Amino acid sequence: MEEFTDIFLMLLLVAGSLAVLYVRNLFVATMLLSAVSFLMALLFVTLDAVDVAFTEAAVGAGISTVLYLGTLALVGSSERPAAKLSVIPLLLALSVGGALIYATFDMPVIGAADTPVQLSNLTKRFVEISPIEIGIPNMVTSVLASYRGFDTFGETTVVFTAAIGVLLILSQKHVRRPEEDEVEQSGLKPAAKDHGQVGSPHDLIPHVVSKVLIPFILLFAFYVQFHGDFGPGGGFQAGVIMAAGFILYSLIFGLHITKKLLPLRVVELFLAFGVLLYGGVGVASMIKGGNFLDYNVLSADPVAGQHLGILLVELGVGITVTAAMLAIFYGFAGRAQGRGKDVN
Amino acid sequence: MFFDHFNYWIVVILMMIGLYTVMSRSNLVKKMIGLSLFQISVFLLYISMGKIEGGTAPIVSNAPDVIYSNPLPHVLILTAIVVGVATTALGLALIVRIKEAFGSVDEEEILSNEDNL
Amino acid sequence: MTFFMSHAPVLAIIIPLMGAPICALFRGKTAPWLFTLILSGIAFAYSIDLLIAVSANGPISYEIGGWAPPYGIEYVADPLSAFVMVIISGISTGVLLYAKDSIANEVPTSRLGFFFAAYLLALTGMMGITVTGDAFNIFVFLEITSLSSYVLIAMGARQDRRALTAAFQYLIIGTIGATFILIGVGLLYVMTGTLNIADIADKFDSISDTRPIRAAVGFLIVGIAIKLAMFPFHVWLPNAYSYAPNIVTAFFAGTATKVSVYLLIRFIYTVFGADFSFGTVYLTELLLPLGVIAALSMSVVAIFQDNLKRLLAFSSVAQLGYITIAIALATEAGLTAGILHIFNHAIVKTGLFLTVGAMFFATGTTSIKALAGVGQRMPMTSFGFVLGGLGLIGIPLTPGFISKWYLIQAVLERGDYIGYGLAIAILLSSIFAVIYIWRVVEILYFHPSPEGAKGSEAPLSLLIPCWIFILGSFYFGIETSFNVGFAEQAAQFLMGAR
CATH of the domain at B86: 1.10.287.3510
Contact by Cβ (8 Å): B15, A100: yes
Distance CA C347, CA C474 (A): 10
Task: For A45-100, write each residue's pLDDT tens digit.
Answer: 999 999 999 999 998 888 999 999 999 999 988 887 765 668 888 999 999 999 99
Q: CA–CA separation, C179 vs C187, rounded Å? A: 12
Q: Which of A115, A149, A175 sits opposite C65 (nearest CB)?
A: A149
- What residues in C contact B49, CB-CB < 8 Å? 186, 189-190
Number of helices followed by number of strands (H, E) in chain C: 21, 2
Residue A149: count of CB within 10 angstroms of its CB: 27
Residues 6+ apart with CB under 8 A from A334: A170, A255, A343
C129 — phi, psi (to 5°)?
Answer: -60, -40
Instruction: Count other C-beta atoms under 10 Å from residue C280's C-beta.
Output: 15
Residues of chain B with Cβ-Cβ distance to A112 below 8 Å are 52-53
Please name the chains neighbouring C, where neighbouring means 3+ C-beta pairs under 8 angstroms: A, B
pLDDT tens digit string along C443-476?
Answer: 999 988 877 666 688 899 999 999 999 999 999 9
* Residue C16 scores a pLDDT above 80: yes
Among C167, C179, C183, beta carbon nearest to B94: C167
* Residues 6 or more apart whose Cβ sits within 8 Å of residue C100: C29, C30, C33, C461
Closest-CA distance, C32 to chain A, in angstroms, reads 15
Q: Nearest-CA neighbor of A16 among A30, A38, A33? A: A33
List pLDDT tens digits, range A143-171: 999 999 999 999 999 999 999 999 999 98
Could you state, in order of their start, the residue ranges of all structural domains in chain C? 282-498
Distance separating alpha carbons of residues B15 and A101, to the nearest angstrom: 11
B63, part of any domain: no
What CATH number belongs to A1-79?
1.20.120.1200
Omega of the bond leading into C232 within 30 degrees of 0 (cis): yes
Q: Reduced to 3 states, what is the DSSP secondary structure of residue A320?
A: helix
Does residue B3 sit within a domain? no
Exposed/middle/buried for residue C114 (C-beta within 10 Å: 0-12, 13-18, 19+): buried
CB distance C86 to C44 below 8 Å: yes
Query: d(Cα A164, Cα A247) in Å, to the nearest integer?
Result: 18
In this model, does residue C3 exceed pLDDT 90? no
pLDDT of A192 over the 80 cut = no
pLDDT confidence of residue A188? 40
A32/C412 Cα distance (integer angstroms): 58
Residue A185 is predicted with a pLDDT of 44
* Residue range of the domain that includes B17: 9-51+69-115
Q: C65–A271: do the CB atoms touch at under 8 Å?
A: no
pLDDT tens, position by position, B67-110: 899 999 999 999 999 999 999 999 999 999 999 999 888 888 88
In chain A, positions 86-115, which contact chain C (CB-CB < 8 Å)? 99-100, 102-108, 115
Domain with CATH 1.20.120.1200 in chain A: 1-79
Q: Does B16 touch chain C (CB under 8 A)?
A: no
- Whether A151 and chain B come into contact, CB under 8 Å, resolves to yes
Residue among A140, A135, A125, A130 nearest A299 (CA): A135
CB contact under 8 A, A161 and C121: yes
| Res. B6 pLDDT band, cuts 50 70 90 | confident
Q: B107: closest CA among A167, A89, A14?
A: A89
What residues are paired with A146 via a beta bridge?
A: none
> In A83-203, which residue ranges form alpha helices assigned H by DSSP?
87-104, 116-119, 121-124, 130-133, 139-142, 149-170, 178-185
Q: What is the structure's pLDDT at B2?
A: 60
ipTM for the predicted complex comes to: 0.95
Peptide bond into C70 cis (omega under 30): yes
**Smallest Cβ distance to A165: which of C108, C151, C193?**
C151
Total structural domains within chain B: 1
CA distance A147 to chain C (A): 5
d(CA A28, CA A49): 28
Q: Residue A196 above 50 pLDDT?
A: no
The pLDDT of C223-228, averaged and rounded, is 95
